[in-house]
Amino acid sequence: MKTRITIQALEETQGSKRLDIWPDYIRQFDRYALIGMGLDRSIEAIRDSYTADSSHPLIPHQTYLQILVEFGFIGLLLFIGGFWQLGKRAAGGPRGERAVILGLLAALITYGLAGSLLGERAIWLALGVIAFSGLKHPLPPNGKRKSKPAAFLRGNGEDKSLTILMVLPHLQKGGAERQMSYLVEELSRREHRIHVATLQKSEDWELLGQPGITHHRLRSRNNYDPLILIQLIKLINHLRPVVIHTWILQMDIIGGLAALITGQPWITRESSSAAAYSGTWKGRLRAFLVGRADAVVANSPGGIEYWRLLHPSQPRYLIPNGLPLKKIAGILPLSQQQIGLKDSQKLILYAGRLTRQKRVGQIITALAALKPDVNAAFFICGKGEVLEELKKQAQRLGVENQVIFRGFLKMEMIWAMMKSADLFINLSNFEGMPNTVMEAMACHCPLLVSDISAHREFLDEGNASLVDPDNLKAVTRALQTSLTDREEAQKHAHNAAKKAAGWSIARLADAYELVYREVIASRKKKRLL
């Protein structure tokens, strides 16, 4: 018997619509859908636009077809994710996973062709593929099918060598990418088998071809290509890694979905804090999916607190960033001539992405307000969305000859400049544990940073100058003092360098090895219960 659900739209803008849904299937979705209990959080934007007269147990305000239509492609991916357990019941074991992939393909094809009936057609095509797979490969009489156990269940759990899959969008020289590179290089030295999956291949990545590290390129037309998910699932089923480790928001979502579908242990890394995700649908989607991960690793207490508030019972680990301290120690400082400075000219340095969050424009304004007797040049290393805006600002303030845009530089060059600089500045609105600030500390470079909680977690008045980034007078005064009171600045730099001495890559790898093994052991324990 069919159940009729009436969706009453806003009276002033729309008429009412009526949809027919088979309640047996809906009950199965309630039980097995990945979007389950967290669904309302994902659809806040349309919750107030509809009401439903239904006894539906989990979703009083919405129907799945509404979600599919309102959220388009992302909603479709989440919806198909609900076939995971249903497919495994119908086809058994790994065949269920294949059925889900085929169902996803069928639904995506229909999504592009079906027009107004895309919801119904996608659902029934996907269900048809799953049902066909179940009929073609029926379960044996005892209801169980022998299948190859997951990699993390094989062996005695004491293997020294682990197979780990790192998933991130690209290998550009951002902070997360550098931390990943430091980590996988050290893990490979410890004879772990490391696989790195990215959307882009960087030919100058220093670890390409290194023994124990294999790079896999996921081909895509854009960041939202559904084939990314399918390629990841296929790669995971081929490699059977004991842990999937996702980095950066995009791959926390896509890589997380692949890990959940394949049933492999999954951890993610939090490199920022709550301010980085406030009000974005991607942040809400990521928060929902990461809540299903086996563990979250944050590089700052702010990141730990963010996930504690979202998912109090989820395992969380605090692992600060690591630095290649021996490599940094071997870098020699540059002379003023090598840098391109005039005689006695002081060097102010910034390195990082050029986004509004970083407040680089505030430094340019403060530079223009310095007293005439302070002869300083401001070197900006990096690129980003506000590059042209910053160039125009420097021209408008008459300091275009003092503000030098160097673009992306190799880290060895930046470290050499840090060792020669009079001051490194970071006035960011929010951070996790910023790599460049840590590197400046290791290079004995004096610091002027924004007085935010992320900086306060490892800096104080004894090793840095902290200032309110919104107070231009305070920023200008702190900049003036840091450039003229060299004795105090060098004292801060010495104290900061002592603190940085504990951030080795070996310590970073030790901590991650512990997390990996604890996650694997926890999964095994759950399987035995």
In three state form, how does the secondary structure of 223-279 look? CCCCHHHHHHHHHHHHHCCCEEEECCHHHHHHHHHHHHHHCCCEEEEECCCHHHCCC
Q: What is the pLDDT of residue 526?
A: 78
The secondary structure of residue 503, as a DSSP letter, is -
In a domain, 149, yes or no: no
Q: What is the pLDDT of residue 359?
A: 92
Q: Are residues 467 and 444 in the same domain?
A: yes
- Distance between CA 521 and CA 152 in Å, rounded? 8
Asked whether the whole model's pTM tops 0.85, one would answer no
The neighbouring-strand residues paired with 52 are 7
The secondary structure of residue 504, as a DSSP letter, is B
Quickly state the pLDDT bin for 149 (edges 50, 70, 90). Answer: low
Domain containing 360 equals: 327-500
Overall average pLDDT of the 386-412 stretch? 94
Overall average pLDDT of the 71-90 stretch? 48
Q: Are residues 278 and 190 in the same domain?
A: yes
The yes-or-no verdict on residue 82 having pLDDT over 70 is no
In a domain, 9, yes or no: yes
| Length of the chain counted residue by residue | 529
Q: What is the pLDDT of residue 460?
A: 93
The yes-or-no verdict on residue 66 having pLDDT over 60 is no
Q: What is the pLDDT of residue 474?
A: 96
The yes-or-no verdict on residue 95 having pLDDT over 80 is no
Overall average pLDDT of the 414-438 stretch? 93
The neighbouring-strand residues paired with 347 are 377
Q: CA of 186: how far to CAs of 222, 275, 323, in Å?
A: 32, 31, 12
- Distance between CA 476 and CA 481 in Å, rounded? 9
In a domain, 142, yes or no: no
Quickly state the pLDDT bin for 223 (edges 50, 70, 90). Answer: confident
The yes-or-no verdict on residue 470 having pLDDT over 90 is yes
Query: Which two structure tokens, joined as six digits, stand for 348?
Result: 């102010």
- Distance between CA 258 and CA 236 in Å, rounded? 8
In this predicted model, what pLDDT tens digit does every residue of 440-465 receive, in sequence order? 999 999 999 999 988 999 999 999 99
* Arithmetic mean of pLDDT over the chain: 76
Return the percentage of the chain with pLDDT > 70, whole number.
67
In a domain, 148, yes or no: no
Residues 515, 319: contact at Cβ < 8 Å?
yes
- Distance between CA 492 and CA 486 in Å, rounded? 10
In a domain, 113, yes or no: yes
Quickly state the pLDDT bin for 510 (edges 50, 70, 90). Answer: very high
Q: Are residues 293 and 335 in the same domain?
A: no
Question: CB 281: neighbour CB atoms within 10 A?
Answer: 13
The yes-or-no verdict on residue 255 having pLDDT over 70 is yes
Overall average pLDDT of the 331-360 stretch? 91
308, containing H or E segment:
helix 301-310
Q: Are residues 344 and 290 in the same domain?
A: no
User: Which residue, 102, 136, 170, sits at the end of a domain?
Assistant: 136
Query: Which two structure tokens, joined as six digits, stand for 372?
Result: 């005439």
The neighbouring-strand residues paired with 316 are 296
Q: What is the pLDDT of residue 72?
A: 46
Q: What is the pLDDT of residue 153?
A: 52
Q: CA of 58: how far to CAs of 26, 33, 142, 497, in Å?
A: 10, 11, 32, 55
Quickly state the pLDDT bin for 126 (edges 50, 70, 90). Answer: low
In this predicted model, what pLDDT tens digit does every residue of 270-286 receive, in sequence order? 988 777 666 678 888 88
- Distance between CA 295 and CA 317 in Å, rounded? 8
Question: CB 301: neighbour CB atoms within 10 A?
Answer: 19
Q: What sign for the dihedral angle of Cα 108, 109, 115, 120?
A: negative
Q: What is the pLDDT of residue 403?
A: 95
Q: Are residues 247 and 305 in the same domain?
A: yes
- Distance between CA 101 and CA 58 in Å, rounded? 26
Of 191, 239, 190, 184, whose CA–CA distance to 206 is shortest? Answer: 184
Task: Determine phi and psi for 409, rounding to 5 degrees.
Answer: -125, 155
Overall average pLDDT of the 325-330 stretch? 95
At 14 the three-state DSSP class reads coil
Overall average pLDDT of the 61-73 stretch? 45
Q: What sign for the dihedral angle of Cα 176, 179, 185, 186?
A: negative
| Comparison of pLDDT for 207 and 108, the residue scoring more | 207
User: Which residue, 136, 168, 194, sits at the end of a domain?
Assistant: 136
Q: Are residues 496 and 511 in the same domain?
A: no
Query: Residue 102: which residues within 8 A CB-CB, separation 6 or more?
Result: 129, 133
Q: Phi-psi category of 382—alpha, beta or left, where left has phi over 0 and alpha has psi -120 to 50?
A: left
Q: Are residues 84 and 178 in the same domain?
A: no
In a 10 Å sphere around its CB, with 0-12 CB exposed, 13-18 middle and 19+ buried, how is residue 312 labelled? exposed
447, containing H or E segment:
strand 447-450
At 163 the three-state DSSP class reads strand
Overall average pLDDT of the 338-366 stretch? 92
Q: Are residues 496 and 513 in the same domain?
A: no
- Distance between CA 266 and CA 164 in Å, rounded? 10
Q: Are residues 312 and 335 in the same domain?
A: no
| Comparison of pLDDT for 521 and 37, the residue scoring more | 521
Q: Are residues 399 and 484 in the same domain?
A: yes
In this predicted model, what pLDDT tens digit does every residue of 385-398 receive, in sequence order? 999 999 999 999 99
DSSP letters, 70-118, are HHHHHHHHHHHHTHHHHHHHHH-HHHHHHHHHHHHHHHHHHHHH-GGGH
CA 17, chain centre distance (Å): 39
Overall average pLDDT of the 64-85 stretch? 48
Q: Are residues 161 and 131 in the same domain?
A: no
| Rg of the chain over all Cα atoms, to the nearest angstrom | 27
| Comparison of pLDDT for 465 and 344, the residue scoring more | 465
What CATH number is associated with residue 370?
A: 3.40.50.2000
Q: What is the pLDDT of residue 207?
A: 77
In this predicted model, what pLDDT tens digit does every residue of 133-148 receive, in sequence order? 443 443 344 444 444 5
58-69 burial by CB neighbour count: b if 16+ within 10 A, else e? Answer: bbebbbbbbbbe
Overall average pLDDT of the 291-320 stretch? 92
Residues 81, 257: contact at Cβ < 8 Å?
yes
413, containing H or E segment:
helix 411-420
At 288 the three-state DSSP class reads helix
In a domain, 143, yes or no: no
Q: Are residues 264 and 339 in the same domain?
A: no
In a domain, 80, yes or no: yes
- Distance between CA 471 and CA 365 in Å, rounded? 11
In a domain, 229, yes or no: yes
Quickly state the pLDDT bin for 172 (edges 50, 70, 90). Answer: confident
Strand 266-270 versus strand 346-351 pairing type: unpaired
Among 203-217, 246-260, 311-325, the range scoring the smallest mean pLDDT is 203-217
Residues 445, 348: contact at Cβ < 8 Å?
no
Task: Give the total number of structural domains in the chain.
Answer: 3
Q: What is the pLDDT of residue 114?
A: 44
The yes-or-no verdict on residue 502 having pLDDT over 80 is yes
Among 4-18, 306-320, 412-426, the range scoring the smallest mean pLDDT is 4-18
Among 12-21, 59-68, 262-271, 411-420, the range scoring the smallest mean pLDDT is 12-21
User: Which residue, 136, 166, 184, sits at the end of a domain?
Assistant: 136
Overall average pLDDT of the 103-109 stretch? 50
